[in-house]
Chain A
C-alpha cells in the first residue's frame, strides 16, 4: 500500500513537470498559433484579436493552470488547426501507436531470448560468434533506415506489401496487424541486438553459479538447466533495460510511422508541432509520459515477482 501511494505521488509530480516543460517549450520557440491559423496574409489587428479570443495573451501560469484544470476534468482542449476536440483527434490514433510499440516489444523478446540461449549453450562456438558479429552490425543501424530497406526489399522487390497501403483496424484487424509487422521489426531489431548482448552475458554469469552445478548433479541436461534454472535468474538484470526498451519503442514508433505512412500518434504529433497546435502536442506528450511512467511501476512490480528477495 505504501508502495502504491509512493508511486502515485511520484507519477503526479512527474506528469506536472513534463506538462509544464512542454508548455514552456512553446513559449520559447518562435511561431504563433493565431498567425498559423489565419495565414501570413492576415493583418496584425486580426491576429491580435484572435490571440485575445484564444486566451493567448493571458499570463503563462494562468494558462497552464486552466489547462491542468480542464485536463483533470477530461477536457483536453480543442485543436487550433482542426477545430475538433483533442480527445477525438487522438483517441483513434492511440491504439495504432500502442499496437506498434507492443508488437515491436514482442519481436525484441522473440529474437533475443532464443538467440541468447543458443549463444550461451554453444558459448564461443560458431553459432555464438556468428550472432556476436550479426548483433554488432544490427545494433548500429537506425530503425528508419531498416524501415527504408524493408520498404525497398519487401515492398518494391518482393511485393509482399504495398508501401503506404496502410489498412485501418476498423477495416480488417488481420490486415492492420499484418501491415505493422515490418515497421515493428524495423524498430525492434537494434534493441533486440542490444538485449541479446546483455542477456547473453547475464546468462553466462548465471551458468557459472553454484546452483547450476547442483542442478547438473541431479541429472539435468545443459539445456534444461539453461531454460529451467538460469533463464529466470538471468533475465533479472535486464528487466530495467527491457522497461526502457518499451518506452523507446514508443519514441521510435513516431519515426517509423513516417517511413511506412501509418496514421498514428507520431504523425499527429509532428504535424501539430509544426502548426503550433499546442493543445494536441500537450495531450500527446502527457499520454506518452503516462505510458512510460506506468511501465516503470510495472518493472518494479515484476522484479519483486521474479525475485522474492527484493522487497518494495
Chain B
C-alpha cells in the first residue's frame, strides 16, 4: 500500500548542510503494522513527517518517491495533498498534552476531519464522532464531546487523538512515539488499542519509537534506523532474537531486563485497561 523509495532529506542549516534522511526505502503492506526504531536524530520522525506531508520549509527534499497505492505523494500540490491528509493518511503524535487544541471542545476536534473531507450532515457527523470515541474505548462519549482537553488525563487525550485520526477510516495511521509521554500502564493499553483497531478496520500502522520492546510487542516487522539510514530490517521476532548489527544489539541491551518476565510487569499489563479509563 505504501512504498517509499530512495528518500533523502537535508536541512539547510547556517553554514553546513545537514543530511537527516539518506536513501531510505521500505514498503508497508495493506493492514500491516510496521515499526521503525532508532535513537533521537536517527531520521525516523523526519521520514514519518514526510509521508504525512508535514515537512517544514527548512527541510529540503533531495530525492525519492512515496507511493500510496497508485498515487505519488511527493509530486502532489499542497492542495491535493490536503485531500490525502486526515482522509487516507492520519497521524498521531508524542505529546497528547499539547497536540490537542486547548480552547476547542473534544467533539469539534474529532469531527474536524469529517468536516474537511465529507459532505455529511451535522447529525451524521455526530454519530461518527460518537462511534470513533467508542472505538477508542472511551466511556461516556456524549459527555466527553462537551469537554476540553485539560479536563482529560494523558491517556484519555491520546485516545481522543486516535479517535480524531481514525474518524475518516484512513488506510494508514502514522504513530510517532504515541506512548512515550505516557506512564507504563497507559502505554500498554494504548498499544492494545492500536492492535485492536488494526485488526478491526484493516488499517495499516507505521509505528515509530525509540523503544524496541514496545515495537516488538506491536509490530510484525521492524526497521532499525541510525543516522538517517535503515541499517537493519525484518520480522520483529528475528530482529529481537538474532540482531545483525552492533547498534541493534545495543538497543536490545538498553531494555531493562528486570522488566521482562517480572511479576510487576505482568501486573501492569493486566491492569492496563482499567488504569487508563
By a beta-carbon cutoff of 8 Å, the part of chain A in contact with chain B is 209-211, 213-221, 229, 232-233, 236, 306-309
Contacts and interface: CB of A to CB of B under 8 A. Distances in A.
Given A219-B86, A229-B101, A214 B148 contact: no
Nearest to B90: A217
Interface string B50-92: 0010100000000000000000000000010011111100110
A215 B83 contact: no
B127 to A, nearest CB: 19
A215 B85 contact: no
B150 A219 contact: no
Which applies to chain A's interface (DSSP): helix, strand, loop or mixed?
helix
B120 to A, nearest CB: 15
Interface in B26-72: 52, 54
Interface residues of B, number: 29
Contacts of A236: 103
B1 interface: no
Nearest to A225: B101
Nearest to B103: A232
B130 interface: no
Contacts, number: 70
B112 interface: yes
Contact of A217 (B54, B95, B100, B117): B54
B88 to A, nearest CB: 10
A272 to B, nearest CB: 46
A211 B91 CA distance: 12
A219 B114 CA distance: 10
Contacts of B86: 217-220
A265 to B, nearest CB: 37
B99 A211 contact: yes
B215 interface: no
A232 B104 CA distance: 9
Given A218-B86, A220-B112, A211 B101 contact: yes
For the complex of A and B, list the 6 residue pairs with the smallest distance between their C-beta atoms, beginning with the closest.
Answer: A218-B86, A219-B86, A219-B85, A210-B98, A211-B101, A217-B91
B209 to A, nearest CB: 18
Contacts of B150: 308-309
20 contacts: A209-B98, A210-B95, A211-B99, A211-B101, A213-B93, A213-B99, A214-B91, A214-B93, A216-B54, A217-B52, A217-B86, A217-B91, A219-B82, A219-B116, A232-B103, A232-B104, A236-B103, A306-B103, A307-B103, A308-B103
B132 interface: no
B85 A309 contact: no
B161 interface: yes
Contact of A218 (B93, B95, B116): B116
A218 B54 CA distance: 10
Contacts of A233: 101-103
B142 to A, nearest CB: 18
B219 interface: no
Nearest to B98: A210
Nearest to B148: A308
Contacts of B98: 209-211
A207 to B, nearest CB: 12
Contacts of A218: 85-86, 90, 112-113, 116, 164
A23 to B, nearest CB: 45
A215 B112 contact: yes
A32 B14 CA distance: 72
A150 B240 CA distance: 78
Interface string B164-193: 100000000000000000000000000000
Contacts of B116: 218-220
Given A210-B95, A211-B98, A219 B161 contact: no
A220 B54 CA distance: 11
A36 B79 CA distance: 74
Please indicate which of the listed interface residues A216, A219, A220, A233 has the most CB atoms of chain B within 10 Å of its own CB.
A219
A79 B192 CA distance: 80
A214 B99 contact: yes
Interface in B102-118: 102-104, 112-113, 116-117
Contacts of B82: 219-221
B18 to A, nearest CB: 20
Contacts of A209: 98
Nearest to B87: A219
A210 B102 CA distance: 11
